Structure 1
Amino acid sequence: MKTFTMTFSAIAQMATDDYVGFTFFVGSMAMMAASAFFFLSMNDFDRKWKTSILVSGLITFIAAVHYFYMRGYWEDYSESPTFFRYVDWVLTVPLMCVEFYLILRVAGAKRSLMWRLIFLSVVMLVTGYIGETIYRDQAQIWGLISGIAYFVIVYDIWLGSAKKLATSAGGHVLKAHKTLCWFVLVGWAIYPLGYMAGTPGFYSGWFDGLSMDVIYNIGDAINKIGFGLVVYNLAIMSTENKKTV
């Protein structure tokens, strides 16, 4: 009861122009609602899709829990909760990469694809964290390394082995794969903007007045919930097709 009292007290004290706190609150609520939706819908699909839906629910659930912590940190210190955010990402982003493997298993995807994407995502995140928190004076260098890992992921899913598997699978799998690819290409591109807004470099001044936390929060909600909804739609369509055959 004390925890809920403190939470509602913090909400009441939120300034009307506190867009960071607002996006933390909305983000946590949206991702918790998405988690409940994914978990409760797991019995609506063929067994082969349940793991994919479970992972979608885990992604948004982990994010929701971290967002509760990050919002509390923001309320207490008025500082960006960078450490908690990267802990969230190092758990959820690899799981988003796992989703590619799970939907491509029908086309014979091997675990090597999954581990390669996970490794690249971890490199992307670790180097981004180093540049954003530890060696801020070298943020451009670490950001470049992080960006290279990101573009290797983009190449692999758009033109590499993942694309070939999706093409061989065809149908709803190919459509879902392409949509997830667009999330990675466009949706994940939001994060470099947040990185540049919060670190020094030749780009300093480009984002004056724009909080990196607002950028990150919007990006998280769009990408994590969106990923799950794409997988959910694939599971629904595949299950319905099986029933009509």
Structure 2
Amino acid sequence: MDLTLSQGQYDLVYNSFSFVIASMGASLLFFILVRGRVSPRHRMAITLSTIVVGIALYHYVRIFNSWVEAFTYTGGQYVQDGIPFNEAYRYVDWLLTVPLLLAELVVVLKLDSGKTRSLLVRLTVAALAMIIAGYPGELAAPDSTAKVVWGIVGTLPFIYILYVLFVELGNSLGRQAPGVTRLLSGLRWILVITWTVYPIAYFVPAVIDDPVTAEVLRQVGYSVADVLAKPLFGLLVLAIALAKSRDEGYLEPGEPDLSSPEKGRQASTV
């Protein structure tokens, strides 16, 4: 269906995509610069965060360009009469980044190797099933049975992921330091709250009669959710990795060891 957007509606989506690009780019640079402050044992989680925002940055540039190419400014409005907007960029991004987001959480916990492997496999399979099931519904007509059916099918692995996060991973929180436990608990809630935005945005076209308003809300909703679920999530993973590094006594290269009074006096004279 071709859409005709007012300048304000078009600009809202346009600026949302621009904001996401800036957020992903800034996060990518930040994660690269601070990675050395984390002990080598926990750097894999930061590496995953860096990869996630890097992949998202690339895809949002493509999404942004596709949005611009799909519309022509005519008579004070933006008419969708160009190259069709490519929704698949977003789903390809999710296929790559969602399993990596879950891996960040599992890796930073530092569970035993068997438990880590099991969680990674199960969460990855569930994440892929959720995204693959959602794509046909995204392409279906807003009021069609196919959209509802595929939406429900995609929700089932979503519920399973929530179960794993709050039951199985929750059981591991007692083995973490108190400060780390609070951060991990917040990390799980951030993941759940931000992921809840995705199904809401997905079903917006089915509950709002105006297709233009529905499309604008859907694109902006997905964009906001991606910023919260990727850069913000990565910052919390970084905070956990830094807290664990400090608890383990990790010192950055050139940083004095102040763990004893004698070492503190030596450092103060430098």
Q: Same fold (TM over 0.5)?
A: yes
Structure 2 CA distance for partners of 1:215 and 1:80, relative to 1, 3 Å: farther
* Structure ranking higher in helix proportion: 1
Q: Paired residue for 2:159?
A: 151
Task: Find the partner of 2:174 among 145, 167, 178.
Answer: 167
Q: For 1:86 and 1:129, how far apart are their aligned partners in 2? A: 7
Q: Paired residue for 1:21?
A: 14
- Deviations 1:116-162, CA, capped at 9 Å, x for gaps: 00110111100010211258631111101111111110011112x22
Aligned length: 227
SS of residue paired to 1:81: coil
Q: For 1:219 and 1:207, how far apart are their aligned partners in 2? A: 21
Q: Paired residue for 1:52?
A: 45
Task: Find the partner of 2:36 among 22, 38, 43.
Answer: 43
- Deviations 1:20-44, CA, capped at 9 Å, x for gaps: 1111011011111101100111111
Task: Find the partner of 2:92 among 87, 96, 99.
Answer: 87
Answer with 126-135 or 81-90: which moved more: 126-135
TM-score computed with the length of structure 1 as normaliser: 0.85
Task: Indicate conservation of the 8 Å contact 2:42/2:241, yes or no.
Answer: yes
1:206 is displaced (CA, Å) by 9.1
- Deviations 1:160-206, CA, capped at 9 Å, x for gaps: x22212333343442232122112221100001110124x4xx3449
Structure 2 CA distance for partners of 1:206 and 1:48, relative to 1, 3 Å: farther
CA RMSD of aligned residues (A): 2.2
Q: For 2:107 and 2:211, how far apart are their aligned partners in 1? A: 38
Q: Paired residue for 2:264?
A: none
1:62 is displaced (CA, Å) by 0.5
Task: Indicate conservation of the 8 Å contact 1:172/1:238, yes or no.
Answer: no
Task: Indicate conservation of the 8 Å contact 1:80/1:213, yes or no.
Answer: no
Work out which of the two has the higher radius of gyration on C-alpha atoms and give 1 or 2. Answer: 2
SS of residue paired to 1:41: helix
Q: For 1:50 and 1:21, how far apart are their aligned partners in 2? A: 35
After the TM superposition, which segments of 4 or more aligned residues of structure 1 sit over 6 Å from their partners?
A: none
Q: For 2:210 and 2:166, how far apart are their aligned partners in 1? A: 30
Task: Indicate conservation of the 8 Å contact 1:107/1:165, yes or no.
Answer: no
1:139 aligns with 2:132: no
Q: Read off the aligned partner of 1:77 and give its amino acid letter.
A: A
TM-score computed with the length of structure 2 as normaliser: 0.78
Task: Indicate conservation of the 8 Å contact 1:23/1:217, yes or no.
Answer: yes
Identity over the aligned pairs, expressed in percent? 25
Q: Read off the aligned partner of 1:192 and give its amino acid letter.
A: P
Q: For 2:210 and 2:239, how far apart are their aligned partners in 1? A: 38
Gaps of 5+ in 1: 1-14
Q: Read off the aligned partner of 1:150 and give its amino acid letter.
A: F
Q: Paired residue for 2:57?
A: 64
- Deviations 1:50-102, CA, capped at 9 Å, x for gaps: 11001001111110110001000000014653100000010000100111220
Q: For 1:80 and 1:197, how far apart are their aligned partners in 2? A: 18
User: Mapping of 1:94-133 within 5 angstroms?
Assistant: 94-106=99-111, 109-133=115-139
Gaps of 5+ in 2: 1-6, 72-83, 250-257, 260-270
Answer with 130-139 or 203-212: which moved more: 203-212
Q: For 2:132 and 2:247, how far apart are their aligned partners in 1? A: 42
Structure 2 CA distance for partners of 1:80 and 1:213, relative to 1, 3 Å: farther
SS of residue paired to 1:110: helix
Task: Indicate conservation of the 8 Å contact 2:108/2:241, yes or no.
Answer: no
Q: Read off the aligned partner of 2:193 and give its amino acid letter.
A: V
